[in-house]
DNA sequence: CGGCATCATTGGATCGATCAAGTTGCGGAT
DNA sequence: ATCCGCAACTTGATCGATCCAATGATGCCG
């Protein structure tokens, strides 16, 4: 198992180092015959490019970074994990590898960017959990670091590429499903106003109700996410309510407990929903991850479109026993 | 934002490159006064070591790799995700970064090792999901690649360091808890024989029953993991059964459905257990991850103990409504 | 006061790839 | 016959760190 470098291959194939490099990076400039000879040498020796050496010369590492959330391992934490799985697969296919990092808050995360960029020459980032006034995107944009966000830039202009799931459409479809089943008094159990995602999910429900000519007064309840808080809040709905659309599976679980017999639909289609037969809105996470990676590689390989791209993916309703 | 290299720092501090390198890597050989001057220059310039350059010279990357499971996003998939979170935290603390990869099977995974080692100079691996006749450990050992497994080497001798959770102790504690509550006819709902983990979990239950002088004949049922399969299998228990210890939360969920009113205890303390109030055995995943990282850094920094280390961590019982 | 060991620091070579500039060979136009 | 252009390939320099051998400074002793 001697060390196999580009020089070893060159010697074996009877050419210079540069020609081997050309075969690898710009095959079209090498004569077909020579190219094959070099390729044969590469495979017979089991040669692989040393990324560190390449990186030092080119300044590119073929590495992208994603944050993995530290705590928050509740019911909903798994959503980001599923996204991460999809991203790792997509990155591998595109010839990139994924590096993980954790960060306590936005400032900490920005400090980590700095470290990853200077120490490891990271090529790009995929950000999750975007929110109002997010300082991360502007920091990266100011330094011309390629990045894509999973989640739209709430409140900010669309200056970068992003992929998001159409939350409105999700609750809209869920509400329509309930309307079709004959429900008229349908409540919405969501989060306090201010989170873009939560507000969008409420909007979809309201739109479906209004379109059906129904009054929504007193049918919307807001509470911090959680099973217990959801159960408590669900008690505040009017007695004649027959169905509830929820902003998360946690809340839906609470609603199920507080309002037995009523129709309930959750959001995110987590393992819990699957396990207990909860109807839920499912986000196409694997596809979202693949799209993010695709947009990012476009940026990285320089064939980026002149303008940034925004993608809104439709979620789907997974109908189970609870609705 | 000019590029800051070791030469920039050297110039600013009025010393040579090598002295700066010494301050970073072997501070004790530099005179205190010089050391401080160099350190001041480093911070004022915001200098950070270029890992690619360091790596090329030293052959070490300060990178470790962990496999992320592709599919299997059921209830139990989250266990490995939680381990991954813990590992990322621990690695960051130890000055390492985590790189992800996926693999379809053991052979594919070994091919990935080869690629990661030659292309990225990975320093070490943390393996999960060890099993009987695992070819990965011997491949790595044959090449002197540092690695630690989360999961013992089932059936093979303890030639490498590993961390595992004491599965026997988990079901033993669960069963004792039920015995204390007055139950006498306690069943075990587990997986088919052959998986080390599953067999160990059955052993713990059997040991507690035998110690209490109880007969276990006909009280053990084996089935492939899943909620539905668990529910179906739970129907095969004798009618006088009052409690069930399960090898997973999925099975426990099935048991709860098939045997309403009976006491049920699951395993892994997943989000589902938390959400529906299922009593479950909880694995100390964050601690396991930290221990793995600790063992691995010992190997990497050359201060490895002469013999390999094995750690068996005790799980804990999280008592909720179902038992 | 010269000799010599010890400590602190320096300068050149090196890791393995790519970049930039140069060389060779060959056909076609002048 | 000479020159030009182009394709195909080669050579030396370079990225930013660390290794290694050598140098200068300092102190101690006979």
Domains of chain B: 6-49 (1.10.260), 63-166+285-313 (3.40.50.2300), 167-282 (3.40.50.2300)
Query: pLDDT tier at B64 (50, 70, 90 boundaries)?
Result: very high
Chain A CB contacts of B271 below 8 Å? 73-75, 77-78, 270-272
Q: What is the pLDDT of residue A295?
A: 94
Proportion of chain B in helix, strand, coil states, percent, rounded to 5: 45, 15, 35
Which of B63, B100, B271 is facing A74, going by the closest CB pair? B271
Contact B100 A120 (CB under 8 A): no
Per DSSP, the three-state class of B194 is: coil
For chain A, give the mean pLDDT. Answer: 92
pLDDT in tens, A102-150: 888 999 999 999 999 988 999 999 999 888 889 999 999 999 999 999 9
Q: What is the pLDDT of residue B157?
A: 85
pLDDT in tens, A40-57: 999 999 999 999 999 999
Q: What is the pLDDT of residue B129?
A: 87
Per DSSP, the three-state class of B186 is: strand
From the centroid of its chain, how far is CA B62?
Answer: 19
Which nucleotide comes closest to A16 if you measure CA to C1'?
Answer: D10
Name the region of A149 (left: φ>0; alpha: ψ -120 to 50; beta: rest).
Answer: beta
Map chain A to HEC letters: CCCCCHHHHHHHHCCCHHHHHHHHHCHHHCCHHHHHHHHHHHHHHCCCCCHHHHHHHHCCCCEEEEECCCCCCCCCHHHHHHHHHHHHHHHHHCCCEEEEECCCCHHHHHHHHHHHHHHHCCCEEEECCCCCCCHHHHHHHHCCCCEEEECCCCCCCCCCCEEEECHHHHHHHHHHHHHHCCCCCEEEEECCCCCHHHHHHHHHHHHHHHHCCCCCCCCEEECCCCHHHHHHHHCCCCCCCCEEEECCHHHHHHHHHHCCCCEEEEECCCHHHHHHCCEEEECCHHHHHHHHHHHHHHHHCCCCCCCCCEEEECCEEECCCCC
Which residues does residue B88 pair with via DSSP β-bridges, in sequence order? Answer: none
Positive or negative torsion for Cα A51, A56, A57, A60? positive
Q: What is the pLDDT of residue A76?
A: 61
pLDDT in tens, B86-128: 999 999 999 899 999 988 899 999 999 999 999 899 999 999 9
pLDDT over 90 (residue A305): no
- Residues of chain A with pLDDT > 90, as a percent, come to 77
pLDDT over 70 (residue A63): yes
Which nucleotide comes closest to B22 if you measure CA to C1'?
Answer: D18
pLDDT in tens, B284-320: 999 999 999 999 999 988 766 667 899 999 999 999 9
Q: Give B79's contacts (C-beta < 8 A, 6+ positions apart).
A: B268, B270, B283, B285
Distance, in Å, from the CA atom of B292 to the CA atom of B256, rounded to the nearest integer, reads 35
Query: pLDDT tier at B174 (50, 70, 90 boundaries)?
Result: very high
Bigger pLDDT: A74 vs A178: A178
Q: Give B312's contacts (C-beta < 8 A, 6+ positions apart).
A: B164, B165, B166
Q: Which secondary structure element, helix H or strand E, spans residue B127, and what is its range? A: strand B124-127
Query: pLDDT tier at A70 (50, 70, 90 boundaries)?
Result: low
Contact B100 A102 (CB under 8 A): no
What tokens does A188 get? Answer: 């919405």
Bigger pLDDT: A98 vs A2: A98
Closest CA in chain B for residue A115: B48
Instruction: Tell me the shortest Cα–Cα distance from B53 to chain A, in angstroms.
Output: 6
A95/D29 CA-to-C1' distance in Å:
67
What tokens does A73 get? Answer: 């391992």
pLDDT over 90 (residue B19): yes
Of the candidates A99, A90, A100, A91, the one whose C-alpha atom is nearest the C-alpha of residue A70 is A100
Please, are residues B101 and B65 in contact by the beta-carbon 8 Å criterion?
yes
pLDDT over 80 (residue B74): no
Query: pLDDT tier at B82 (50, 70, 90 boundaries)?
Result: confident
* CB < 7 A to strand D: residues 49-108, chain A: 53, 56-57
Q: At what angle do helices B6-13 and B32-45 cross, to 10 degrees?
A: 120
Q: What is the pLDDT of residue A177?
A: 98
Closest CA in chain B for residue A52: B52
Q: What is the pLDDT of residue B275?
A: 84
> Which range among A153-157, A260-264, A303-307 shows the weakest confidence by mean pLDDT?
A303-307
Q: What is the pLDDT of residue B79?
A: 85
Contact A250 B121 (CB under 8 A): no
Q: Give A127's contacts (C-beta < 8 A, 6+ positions apart).
A: A67, A136, A137, A147, A148, A149, A150, A151
Measured from Cα to the C1' atom, the residue closest to C12 is: B18
Which of A63, A88, A120 is facing B68, going by the closest CB pair? A88
Chain B CB contacts of A101 below 8 Å? 88, 92, 97
pLDDT over 80 (residue B1): no
What tokens does A283 get? Answer: 């986000």
A317/C12 CA-to-C1' distance in Å:
68
Distance, in Å, from the CA atom of B275 to the CA atom of B261, rounded to the nearest integer, reads 18
Q: What is the pLDDT of residue A304?
A: 65
Query: pLDDT tier at A157 (50, 70, 90 boundaries)?
Result: confident
Which of A88, A118, A271 is facing B271, going by the closest CB pair? A271
Distance, in Å, from the CA atom of A276 to the CA atom of A135, rounded to the nearest integer, reads 39
Which nucleotides of strand C lie under 7 Å from a protein CB?
7-12, 14-21
pLDDT over 80 (residue B71): no
pLDDT over 60 (residue B48): yes
Please, are residues B250 and B225 in contact by the beta-carbon 8 Å criterion?
yes
Distance, in Å, from the CA atom of B289 to the CA atom of B269, rounded to the nearest integer, reads 17
Which nucleotides of strand D lie under 7 Å from a protein CB?
7-12, 14-21
Per DSSP, the three-state class of B284 is: coil
pLDDT in tens, A229-283: 999 999 999 999 999 999 999 999 999 999 999 999 999 998 888 888 999 999 9
pLDDT over 90 (residue B155): no
Closest CA in chain A for residue B81: A81
Closest CA in chain A for residue B103: A89
In the sheet with A186-190, reading across from the earlier edge strand, the strands are A220-222, A186-190, A243-246, A263-267, A279-282, A316-318
As a whole number, mean pLDDT of residues B148-176 equals 93
Which of B50, B53, B89 is facing A102, going by the closest CB pair? B89
Q: What is the pLDDT of residue A194?
A: 87
């Amino acid at each position: 198992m001697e060390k196999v470098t580009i020089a070893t291959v060159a010697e074996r194939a009877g050419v210079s180092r540069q020609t081997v490099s050309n075969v690898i990076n710009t095959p079209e400039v090498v004569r077909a015959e020579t190219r094959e000879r070099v390729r044969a040498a590469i495979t017979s020796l089991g040669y692989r490019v040393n990324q560190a050496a390449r990186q030092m010369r080119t300044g590119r590492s073929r590495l992208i970074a994603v944050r993995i959330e530290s705590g928050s391992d509740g019911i909903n934490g798994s959503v980001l994990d599923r996204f991460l799985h999809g991203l790792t697969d997509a990155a591998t296919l595109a010839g990139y590898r994924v590096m993980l990092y954790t960060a306590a808050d936005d400032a900490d995360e920005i400090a980590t960017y700095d470290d990853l960029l200077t120490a490891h020459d990271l090529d790009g980032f995929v950000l999750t959990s975007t929110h109002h006034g997010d300082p991360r995107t502007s920091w990266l944009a100011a330094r011309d670091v390629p990045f894509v966000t999973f989640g739209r830039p709430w409140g900010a202009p669309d200056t970068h590429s992003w992929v998001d799931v159409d939350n409105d459409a999700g609750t809209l479809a869920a509400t329509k499903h309930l309307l079709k089943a004959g429900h008229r008094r349908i409540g919405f159990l969501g989060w306090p106003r201010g989170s873009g995602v939560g507000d969008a999910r409420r909007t979809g429900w309201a739109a479906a109700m209004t379109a059906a000519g129904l009054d929504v007064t007193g049918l919307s309840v807001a509470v911090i996410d959680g099973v217990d808080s959801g159960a408590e809040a669900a008690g505040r709905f009017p007695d004649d309510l027959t169905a509830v659309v929820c902003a998360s599976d946690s809340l839906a679980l609470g609603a199920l407990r507080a309002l037995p017999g009523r129709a309930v639909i959750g959001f995110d289609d987590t393992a819990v929903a699957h396990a207990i037969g909860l109807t839920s809105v499912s986000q196409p996470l694997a596809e979202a991850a693949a799209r993010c990676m695709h947009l990012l590689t476009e940026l990285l390989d320089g064939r980026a479109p002149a303008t940034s791209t925004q993608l809104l993916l439709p979620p789907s309703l997974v109908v189970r026993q609870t609705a």
